[in-house]
């Protein structure tokens, strides 16, 4: 049985590439230099695309060009399509021998405490994938950080990315054994008024959320240091600089060896969750799909 053929309604790829470059640079001159063609050739290719579409993509304002509304819509669509083609091409080239490099953006403390101890299981399943770990807990920028996939804490909704939830986070109050043996041990919630509360810079509302969750309104709060990374908060709590509120999964070792004490038997889930996040342009790459599938299954078993 003959399979019916369908002719794709596609313009010239050269015209598409030229239009994307001109839209990105907002300049025929700069786009032409990038593509190693003359300015007149770049202009001619864009005009041919406008003729094909039968609508203007740019408006010429004096010496400048600006995208029309239709041009802006088409530029976003074309850029996404070219990104996917480029990523897929690089994937095929890098994995033609069954290998390739997977760059993972990880939160510093989560990476060292939870992810890295489990990565040998992933490596055993995919021995030909080379892992590159990038530690960062600032804004997520896949292109600038040159990462394929990341683990982040938040509420989802990263732009131009696919985010899949991994796990929620139980938070616990912890303190040093010296505080529990001191003048004001944490025998009840009121005792917190006698101590400084350590804060994490990226979780400024964490303590307020904890108090709301247990329906406690402290008469007074005394703030201690605000620290940038969880491992700094952990060390500050061990050193007795104050009382810390930490994800239990990050301090399980300190709790087990009693470097830190959990004084309150309450279970509070922190706001937000951990997500595995990948840019849409790379979401279907074989190594990214393999890592996403593995870390989701691993988080469920944790």
Superfamily assignment of 170-269 in CATH? Periplasmic binding protein-like II (3.40.190.10)
Cα(138)–Cα(142) distance, integer angstroms: 12
The residue among 135, 101, 119 whose CA lies nearest residue 298 is 119
Count of C-beta atoms within a 10 Å radius of residue 75: 18
* Residue with more model confidence, 91 or 280: 280
pLDDT in tens, 72-119: 999 999 998 898 888 777 766 766 555 678 999 999 999 999 999 999
Q: Which two tokens stand for residue 144?
A: 């600038």
Q: What is the largest CA-CA distance in the chain?
A: 88
Tell me whether the CATH fold assigned to 13-83 matches the one assigned to 170-269: no
Q: What is the pLDDT of residue 210?
A: 95
Q: What angle do CA 128, 134, 140 make, to 5 degrees?
A: 120
Count of C-beta atoms within a 10 Å radius of residue 12: 13
Count of C-beta atoms within a 10 Å radius of residue 110: 21
- pTM equals 0.68
pLDDT at 139 > cutoff 70: yes
Provide the residue ranges of all domains of the chain, joining segments of one domain with +: 13-83, 101-168+273-301, 170-269
Provide the CATH number for the domain formed by 13-83 in this structure.
1.10.10.10
pLDDT in tens, 223-274: 999 999 999 999 999 999 999 999 999 999 999 999 999 999 998 998 889 9
Could you tell me the fold of the domain covering 101-168+273-301?
D-Maltodextrin-Binding Protein; domain 2 (3.40.190)
pLDDT in tens, 141-180: 888 888 999 999 998 888 889 999 999 999 999 999 999 9
160 alpha carbon, distance to own chain's centre:
11
Please report which helix (H) or strand (E) contains residue 38, including its range: none
Confidence bin at 5 (pLDDT 50/70/90): low
pLDDT at 1 > cutoff 70: no
């Amino acid at each position: 049985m003959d399979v019916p053929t369908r002719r794709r309604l596609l313009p010239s790829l050269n015209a598409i590439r030229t239009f994307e470059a001109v839209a990105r640079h907002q300049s025929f001159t700069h786009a032409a230099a990038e593509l190693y063609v003359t300015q007149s050739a770049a202009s001619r290719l864009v005009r041919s695309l406008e003729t094909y579409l039968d609508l203007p993509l740019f408006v010429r304002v004096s010496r400048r060009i600006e995208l029309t509304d239709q041009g802006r819509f088409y530029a976003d669509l074309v850029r996404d399509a070219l990104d996917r083609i480029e990523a897929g091409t690089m994937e095929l080239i890098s994995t033609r021998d069954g290998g390739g490099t997977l760059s993972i953006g990880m939160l510093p403390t989560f990476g060292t405490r939870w992810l890295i101890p489990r990565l040998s299981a992933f490596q055993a399943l995919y021995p030909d994938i080379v892992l590159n770990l990038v530690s960062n807990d600032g804004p997520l920028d896949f292109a600038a950080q040159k990462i394929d996939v990341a683990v982040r804490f938040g509420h989802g909704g990263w732009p131009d990315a696919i985010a899949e939830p991994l796990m929620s986070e139980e938070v616990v109050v912890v303190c040093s054994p010296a505080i529990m043996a001191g003048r004001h041990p944490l025998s009840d919630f009121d005792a917190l008024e006698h101590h400084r509360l350590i804060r994490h810079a990226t979780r400024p509302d964490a303590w307020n959320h904890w108090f709301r969750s247990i329906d406690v309104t402290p008469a007074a709060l005394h703030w201690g240091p605000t620290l940038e990374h969880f491992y700094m908060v952990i060390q500050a709590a061990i050193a007795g600089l104050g009382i810390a509120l930490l994800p239990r999964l990050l301090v399980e070792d300190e709790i087990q060896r009693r470097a830190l004490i959990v004084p309150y038997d309450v279970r509070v889930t922190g706001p937000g969750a951990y997500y595995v996040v990948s840019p849409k342009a790379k979401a279907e790459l074989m190594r990214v799909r393999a890592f996403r599938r593995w870390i989701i299954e691993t988080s469920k078993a944790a």
